Amino acid sequence: MIELQERPAETKSGTHDTILEARNVRVVFGNGVRAVDGISLQIYRGETIGIVGESGCGKSTLGRTLCMLQTPTHGSVVLNGSTISNMKGRRLREARKNLQMVFQDPYSSLNPRQRAGDIISEPLLLTGVDKRQRQARAHELLDLVAIGASGYSRFPREFSGGQRQRIGIARSLAANPEVVICDEPVSALDVSVQAQIVNLLVSLQRKLNLTYVFISHDLAVVRQMATRVAVMYLGRIVEIASADSIFTTPRHPYTAALLSAVPAMPSSSRKPRRIPLAGDPPSPMRIPSGCRFQTRCWLRETLDSPEICSAIDPTLSGAGDHQSACHFQHHVDARRGA
């Protein structure tokens, strides 16, 4: 049998239409936190890419950078072939219409003194659309998210949490974006309401040909939504693959540990043992040298000669579209086993 050849990064997306791309993006905050520490990521038109990882690993910062709410310290963000990370003023505002964000807490992101109809159509204020057209668009969007016209004159406090998230989603769609970045959009909601919002997002994606970046620490929700998954650890993507591959055969020990903590993953081929993930991640001000995961790595413990783990910072590599930043990625699946 012939071994699968590793394909260089340039041709990996050959068959995909890339809509949004991060090229070696870094975001370093004034306090020295390397929130995003060198991420290259291509997002394909029409997909839902899940971004997962523990609290503080940089998911929101990456999401905000992808839609230029945050300027990268290094690297660039490219939308439909144009570099938007060096745009300013009007050009940037214009480009940003195509990239909208839905936030975790709809209540804090909705102005309590504004009526739902005005909240939803507000993004159109800057676009020179007149009042009548804005109202018509707000009604259309209220229907689209199944709130209905009666919601138009109500205030955020008069809606339930799920309905408020519907309003947040409607507002994100007002200017007809191609890409919607959802940052923990269901994390603040009850489980039954989560399912309704997930279903709404899926049906909107079909109707409107949307591309989603779906940020969540909840792997079960990501499993329902994502076609591809990127796993982040301390500001880096440590594994990226199709959702199926990630959930059935993880090739990074961090992913394997995250998965083992999820109760009853529906379609995993077998139930791996629970893998300990001791303590919290190190501070993003003091990222370990070599492999950044080595201080918590269960796989390293099982190796005869793990010296390379502390010596060399692994980059993403692997067969086909399944990429892992682990020197021993081919041992992960066997050793996590039952």
Ligand X SMILES: Nc1ncnc2c1ncn2[C@@H]1O[C@H](COP(=O)(O)OP(=O)(O)OP(=O)(O)O)[C@@H](O)[C@H]1O
Does position 55 interact with ligand X (CB under 6 A)? The reply is yes
Q: Which is nearer to ligand X, 180 or 204 (CB)?
A: 180
> Residue 70, interface with Mg ion (CB under 5 A)?
no
Range in contact with ligand X (rule: CB under 6 A) among 29-37, 74-82, 110-118, 266-274: 29-37
Decide whether 52 or 309 has the Cβ nearer to ligand X: 52
Closest approach of Cβ 194 to Mg ion, in Å?
17
Which residue in 25, 57, 95, 229 binds ligand X (CB under 6 A)?
57
C-beta closer to ligand X: residue 58 or 151: 58
Q: Is 60 in the site for ligand X (CB under 6 A)?
A: yes
Q: How many CA atoms lie within 13 A of 182 on its CB side?
A: 33
C-alpha to C-alpha distance for 272 and 260, rounded to whole angstroms: 6
Which residue type, as a one-letter code, is found at position 52? V
**Shortest Cβ 90–ligand X spacing (Å):** 26
- 60 vs 194 by CB, closer to Mg ion: 60
53 vs 313: CA distance, rounded Å: 19
> Which of 56, 75, 282, 290: binder of ligand X (CB under 6 A)?
56
Q: Is 33 in the site for ligand X (CB under 6 A)?
A: yes
Q: Which does 55 bind (CB under 5 to 8 A by kind): ligand X, Mg ion, none?
A: ligand X
Centroid of chain to Cα 58 = 10
Find, among 204, 140, 148, the residue nearest to 178 by Cα. 204
- In this complex, which beta carbon is closest to Mg ion, that of residue 58 or of residue 156? 58
Does 59 sit near ligand X (CB under 6 A)? Answer: yes
Binding of residue 60 to Mg ion (CB under 5 A): yes
Residue 284 binds ligand X, judged by CB under 6 A = yes
Give the CA dihedral 267, 273, 276, 281, nearest 10 degrees: -20
Encoded tokens for 241:
């693959």
Q: Which residue has the tokens 């993953």?
A: 265
Closer Cβ to ligand X, 63 or 123, answer by number: 63
**Pattern of binders to ligand X over 169-208, x per CB under 6 A?**
----------------------------------------
Residues forming contacts to ligand X in the complex (CB under 6 A) are 29, 31, 33, 35, 53, 55-61, 217, 284
User: Which residues of the chain form contacts with Mg ion (CB under 5 A)?
Assistant: 60
